[in-house]
Structure 1
Amino acid sequence: MGWMHDTLAYFQKDPIHRAFHHNLLTFGLMYAFSERFVLPLSHDEVVHLKRSLLDKMAGDRWQKLANLRALYAHMWAHPGKKLLFMGGELGVWGEWSEEEPLDWAILGDPDHAGLQRLMRDLNHLYREIPAMWRADHLPTGFSWVDANDSAQSVVSYLRFDPDSADDYLLAVGNFTPVPRHGYRVGVPRAGIHQEVLNTDATVYGGSGMGNLGAVEAVEVESHGRPASLTLTLPPLSVLYLRAPS
């Protein structure tokens, strides 16, 4: 369970220390294409005093929710099939017990309803965008943009659909509570990139910081790519931007 162990270990760390543990996010891609992988967040992680996924996250209440939203979006963009144990989509605070029902009443809290809405939207995007799943087991389906920005605890990568050379998804994660303004990211081509997901959107319980739904990439080289776009990265967030149509 290397991916699960490393990812949960990373998100449990105080963001001020994450720069020193950046490899926990990136190491899994060293072996991701040697087999066909499932990315599990299973029942075994939310029992026997291990705490719920939400309660594992670092920070205060707002940061825990933001961290969990970012974790899920990173997981959905990462190569590998997804496995999320029941209750994870609600952000329950308590451990799972076979003797008790899920705490459905928690959806009366807008923040938890927002987390469930995020999971719905992630699943819709996953079905809609073949780049997120078609080449999970192939190196051609994934490419780092920048795996090495440990100082700012930011990762950026591209997912590709081998059956459609022009279609790709850019995922950018900012795993500190510090917003990043004017953050340049290299992309394969210029044009309007739609911001199809922002885990910091108010509908998910976030602060509402973002890029107004779209960003234009210009022909300025960055990260070894012919074009680039300049982003606002909200705190403890993941953004998805889709290639120009």
Structure 2
Amino acid sequence: MKRFIITGHSSGLGEALARRLLAPEHEVIGLARRRNAALDDVSRAAALPLQQHELDLSEVSTLDECFTDLLAGLEWDGITDVYLVNNAGTVQPIAVPGRQDPDEVVAALQLNLIAPVLLSNALLRHTEALPVQRHILHISSGAGRKPYSGWSVYCAGKSGLDHYTRSVGQDQPARLQMASLAPGIIDTDMQQQIRDSDPDDFPLRPQFLHYYHHGELSSADSVAVRIADFLLSGSMGCGDILDLRDMEP
């Protein structure tokens, strides 16, 4: 049995990935601030193993304790592989320095960078003595590898996540695969927030409007198919920095 822990599964790419991975031989565990009723319906109708846990990943002061307790409450007999997909994230604040809301800055760095590191650390600690293969995939962004005006906080968080991945690759923990993957431009609520942003805060807004109006956004479902195939392929290394658009379909 393979176990998949997916953050931010209540909508967007996380929901699409959870749907794709639901299978009799897979246990899917979703972590988000709210449950996804449609996923519950799918899992019940086909008797597929799904758990949903309501957890605010930006509450980093209690995140390690909450996630550790969750892991301790799971049955590990028969689990051969555990996958953690750090998908939850936020593009806010979309603003140039000096116009960024301090609370949004803190929340963004907590969700985009600190939470994935804490969850990864807790998973590796809990499974260190267990005979399971560990796989951690961070959903990153091209913004972690290229600067964008108006996205300095988002860029910093994703860049930090990429470099964390590289550094873990130097440590080479036993039985671990870890990669940071930029999935491309996906038609999700995050893109709507970008299109609704103030042009003074995000000068590239017209470019993202062009992507939308010319059908250049990937669907969450199509991206989820490719990510699921990648996870199950066993081809992930440890410390890899990847872009889905550069990978063979």
- Give the TM-score normalised by the residue count of structure 1: 0.33
- Structure with the larger helix share: 2
| Structure with greater strand percent | 1
